[in-house]
Structures are given as C-alpha cells and as structure tokens.
Amino acid sequence: MAKEKIQKTNAARLLDSKKIAYELIPYEVDENDLSAVHVASQLGEPIDRVFKTLVLHGDRSGYFVCVIPGEKEVDLKLAAKATGNKSCALIPMKELLPLTGYIRGGCSPIGMKKPFPTYIHSTCMDFDYIYVSAGVRGLQLKINPSDLCKAVGAKTGELIVES
C-alpha cells in the first residue's frame, strides 16, 4: 500500500522558502487530549523535546509568542520580563484563530497571519532537534532549534514555572 502523502502546511512552505531543513512528522490526534504529553507519546519522544506554542498579550508590547516545553507552564512574570512588559496574560482561546490563523492543538510559531515577537525557552538549545506544531492538528515539525529561532527571529530565555 502506498504511503499517504503528507500535505505541506503554510509553516512548512515558509521553511522551504527560507531553505531551512525540517521533517513533517504525523501523529494520531485525540480530540479529547490535545496536550503535548499526548503528542510526545504518539511520537515516541521525550516530552522535553515537544514544545507548545502560546500566544500572550503584554501591557506594553501587545501580542507575542512563547514556545515552551510541552509539560511546563509559562511563567507570566518571566515572560513579561523577557518581553519588556510589566504584565502579560494568555489570550482568550476565541482570539487564537482570528489572530494567528491557527486553532488550539495546531498553533505553530511559524507562519502566523502576521509575525509576532517570538521567545523560545532556553532549554530548546539542549537538543539537536525539537518538535513544534506544523500548523494543523496531527502534524509536527521536527526542526533544529537554532533554525527555528532563525526562521521566526526568536530570542531564547527563561519562560517557565520551575517545579
């Protein structure tokens, strides 16, 4: 039986245009569990390599993106500090699609409707590759973290609640 062809997403096409290497990795979606922990188990990868994309709004900068390890929580104080804000908050879920063009569980830091300042948690640099959403549920991008930073103009920093 022929292998099903994976449809390229806007995020993948953007990486192609910048000549940045990546792999598209499909996984089984569970509509009741859109967590990065589920994605990691489907990929057979450690959870600290699967990063989730969050969109926040700062009191000074406006919208920005944080890409953090999948099982961690964003530390709003650290995120505000990293972005030059006094305070920030996650955007309401209903704003995600109109603002980014992506839905929950399929939000990629690459190829949003408009580019937002992007910050990736510093642990990404501990790995030769990480996973981020390819822009649809059921598809991940396997990418070198330096290449990801280059693709979206991201800075790295401390962004998570330490447990």
- Each residue of 57-96: pLDDT tens digit? 999 999 999 999 999 999 999 999 999 999 999 999 999 9
pLDDT grade for 1, boundaries at 50, 70 and 90 = very low
Domain boundaries, the chain: 29-157
Q: Is the whole-model pTM more than 0.75?
A: yes
pLDDT tens for residues 97-110? 999 999 999 999 99
Instruction: Specify whether the CB–CB gap between 98 and 126 falls below 8 A.
Output: no
* CA atoms of 92 and 23, how far apart (whole Å): 31
Type and span of the H or E element at 149: helix 145-152
Q: Give domain 29-157's CATH superfamily.
A: YbaK/aminoacyl-tRNA synthetase-associated domain (3.90.960.10)
Distance (Å, whole) CA 34 – CA 26: 14
pLDDT band at 7 (very low <50, low <70, confident <90, very high): confident
